[in-house]
Amino acid sequence: LGTGKAPVAKPPVLSGVRHVVAVASGKGGVGKSTTSVNLALGLRSLGLKVGILDADIHGPSLPTLLALHGRPRLGKDRRLRPMQAFGLQAMSMGLMVDQETAMVWRGPMVMSAITQMLSDVDWGNLDVLIIDMPPGTGDAQLAIAQGTDLAGAVIVSTPQDLALIDARRGIAMFRKVDVPILGVIENMAHFICPDCGGRHTLFGEGGAQAEARRLGAPYLGAVPLTMELRRASDSGQPIVALDPDGALGQLYSGMARTLW
Ligand code: ADP
């Protein structure tokens, strides 16, 4: 890769998992975790066996998004069993490591924790494992991209220039390690005012779609900024599980269908 760094250890085996898909963003806070969870549930609504791994050590969101409590069980084989939530198999760094300690971990420790998590969890048989990637394009992201035989990556960005610049870096990283971009999702694309019904493009418009076109990557769609989605996520009841037939539920299922 021309980075001058030592190559990452041999890929951990995710036996029993047919496809591993990374959901990534350049910047934090653009809705990557929200998208990962709802996309995973959208894939599940197609009748697939789906797992989700929250690989963000410094800001794990899965325990909140899926209302996960307690610790994952350790099997007799000394491998961890994922937790169950809304029909998904779920595992998060947030369930495994003390957050205050993890906050001060340096790169090599983060990487070894991620590598261990990839090899020490028994996912059983899955059609798809979604990896909710840590934001950015550092060593941890490379360790996952190189170490997991990814089928591809889905990039989440807001329409804003700053988020797009970072998303572009993420795309470049995946391309460098020959991971195909399976799709681009524009999140927080617009806001419909509940009072006046007006449509407001708070972060600009169409940026992610234009970027997808420029890259020749599939554009999976735009998700509006809505109170409903934010509330559902905060309450640990993802919108696709809460209201599968609603507009947002259908939107994510549609994106999952395109992806599959
Ligand atoms: P990231 O994983 O990129 O850091 P999150 O998925 O944690 O981002 O989202 C950040 C915050 O924005 C969360 O509070 C989430 O509920 C909220 N959020 C994400 N997408 C939307 C959306 N489309 N509409 C409303 N709120 C959203």
Task: Round the CA-based radius of gyration of the chain to a whole number and report it.
Answer: 18
Q: Name the closest-CA residue to atom 5, ligand 1.
A: 31
Q: DSSP strand E in 55-160: where?
A: 83-85, 88-92, 126-132, 152-157
ipTM of the complex: 0.99
pLDDT band, very low/low/confident/very high, at 28 (cuts 50, 70, 90): confident
Cβ(89) – ligand 1 distance below 6 Å = no
pLDDT of residue 68: 93
- Out of 92-106, 168-182, 223-237, give the one with best mean pLDDT: 223-237
More reliable by pLDDT, 16 or 1: 16
Please check whether residue 89 is in contact with residue 82, taking contact to mean a CB–CB distance below 8 angstroms.
Answer: yes
pLDDT of residue 94: 86
Where do the structural domains in the chain lie, given as residue ranges?
A: 20-55+126-259
pLDDT of residue 147: 79
pLDDT of residue 12: 55
Task: Give the closest residue to 141 by CA, choosing from 36, 22, 5.
Answer: 22
pLDDT of residue 67: 95
Please check whether residue 68 is in contact with residue 83, taking contact to mean a CB–CB distance below 8 angstroms.
Answer: yes
Domain covering 20-55+126-259, topology: Rossmann fold (3.40.50)
pLDDT of residue 103: 74
**Atom number of ligand 1 nearest to Cα 61:** 7
Task: Give the closest residue to 60 by CA, choosing from 4, 115, 100.
Answer: 100
Is position 94 annotated in a ligand binding site? no
pLDDT of residue 2: 41
**Atom number of ligand 1 nearest to Cα 34:** 6
pLDDT of residue 133: 93
Cβ(223) – ligand 1 distance below 6 Å = yes
**Atom number of ligand 1 nearest to Cα 56:** 2
Cβ(92) – ligand 1 distance below 6 Å = no
Asked whether residue 243 carries a pLDDT value surpassing 70, the answer given is yes
